[in-house]
Amino acid sequence: MWRLRALRAPTPSVSCSLLPCGACLRRKHVERDVGDLLIAQHHHPVLVEGIGDLFELLVGHARRDIHTHPELAFQETRTAGIVAAELTRLGLAPRTGVGRTGVVAEIKGGRPGPVLAIRADMDALPIHEETALPFASEIAGQMHACGHDIHTSTLLGVAAVLKDLAPQLAGTVRLIFQPAEEVLEGAAAMIADGAADGVDMAIGFHNHPDMPVGSFGYVRGACLAASDRFDLIIQGKSGHAAHPYAAIDPIVAAAAFVQEAQTVVSREIKPLHPAVVTIGQFVGGTTYNIIPERVHLKGTVRTLHHESRDIAEAALRRLAEGIGVSMRVKTEMTYVRKVPPLVNDDKVLDPVIAAVRRQMGDVISEGEASMGAEDFAEFAARAPSFQLRIGSGQPGRDDRLHNAFYQPDERSIGLGVQALSRAALDLLA
């Protein structure tokens, strides 16, 4: 069972209106009250607040431990060890090494039914933390600046709740702790190792500092973009800057390509289908008076629709070839499709929204799609899925993801546990 000895004692500020503070540290009260809450069919804000804080105690320690020891993509061995140990303590049988450093465990319900996957990501970013928090990263140049420590802890909390309530479930909950989301490769690696086999529906989630803690969000249809990338080598012929006629200038050709690439969005893709083409790197040349041999461009392409994704790739390849003809350079395009758009399915989205409302009241609202990407899309491409947005903005702060000062509100863990646990109970009712 959960390691309560690792918890901080509750402070007077912790609101435990229905849970006397002394009881917070006793597992049987935790079990009983969490169970009562989750099987309650009506909104009870006081209890919700108490449970949110309780889960901060329950799960916050795991979060802070993981936060202090962030690990980059496919290096999440310590984190996976914590996850596997906690799942084992809960009486589950986690499988490690799935997709290199991922962990999978299943909670089998009391009755047969579909398989619901709930996925959290575990990896950190190559950012040097500057929060000065007492539990800040101890690893120079690495930080949980996207809140994947929050996600991992939240899913551990869901595991604890649903393990207790398993007899009520008609079906199986598959808990997926995924590595390497930030490089958009962990989901594919886990799927290659069977993590999505037999999954009938899936829920992903992400913390949102742009939404206040306590709020939740959703987007109907495509919510995050396909993320593709390309490298374009433009090979010219080097020479003296004073004699361009005797050379072939790849810089002018590359500049023309950068301009033309902007016409993909403005002239080739439907205006009602969002798309972005960004050239993020332009490398070529050494000094004032030399026309270089080659230029190397790197770009990213984001699209919300499969059709636009195809159009953009075809257009960029064609424009690169065209530059070759018109500017006499040789071009070599390497185009890599990373992840598809993340498309929410109403079959999962609607029941989850209803579950969040039933659990916590009118706290979930519709948001806008983002041109960011997330490889939960790989799971969503294989089974009806929904990505839940969980507000993590601290009152009085204006945090952003991937920022060295990022401080999500830890109460989002307990609130996320409630939302996801209730959703699982309803989807497997």
Return the amino acid letter for 280: G
Q: Which is nearer to Ni ion, 49 or 375 (CB)?
A: 375
The CB-of-374 to Ni ion minimum distance in angstroms stands at 7
Are 150 and 55 in contact, with CB atoms under 8 Å apart? no
Residue with tokens 């984190």: 79
The residue (of 146 and 415) whose beta carbon lies closer to Ni ion is 146
The sign of the dihedral angle between the CA atoms of 137, 141, 142, 147 is positive
Q: Minimum Å distance from CB 131 to Ni ion?
A: 17
Give min distance, CB of 31 to Ni ion, in A.
31
Distance of closest approach, residue 148 Cβ to Ni ion, in angstroms: 6
**Closer to Ni ion by Cβ: residue 146 or 201:** 146
Q: Minimum CB separation from Ni ion for residue 355, in Å?
A: 23
Smallest separation, CB 73 to Ni ion (Å): 12
Q: Which is nearer to Ni ion, 53 or 409 (CB)?
A: 409
Minimal distance, residue 206 CB to Ni ion, in Å: 6
Tokens of 342: 């993340």
Apex 346 CA angle, 342 and 351, nearest 5: 120
Rg of the chain taking only CA atoms, in angstroms: 24
Q: How far is CA 315 from the centre of its chain?
A: 29
- Give 74 or 282: the residue with its C-beta nearer to Ni ion: 74
Answer yes or no: are the C-beta atoms of 355 and 203 closer than 8 Å: no
Rounded to a whole number of angstroms, the minimum distance from the CB of residue 333 to Ni ion is: 29
Distance from the Cα of residue 293 to its chain's centroid: 40
Residue with the closest Cβ to Ni ion? 146
Q: Which is nearer to Ni ion, 102 or 236 (CB)?
A: 102
- Give the nearer residue to Ni ion in terms of CB position, either 37 or 146: 146
Looking at beta carbons only, is 93 or 183 nearer to Ni ion?
Answer: 183
CB of 146 vs Ni ion, minimal distance in Å:
3
Q: How far is the CB of 189 from Ni ion (least distance, A)?
A: 17
The token duo for 71 is 């690990």
* Residue 391, φ and ψ in degrees, nearest 5: -60, 135
Question: Which residues lie near Ni ion (CB under 5 A)?
Answer: 146
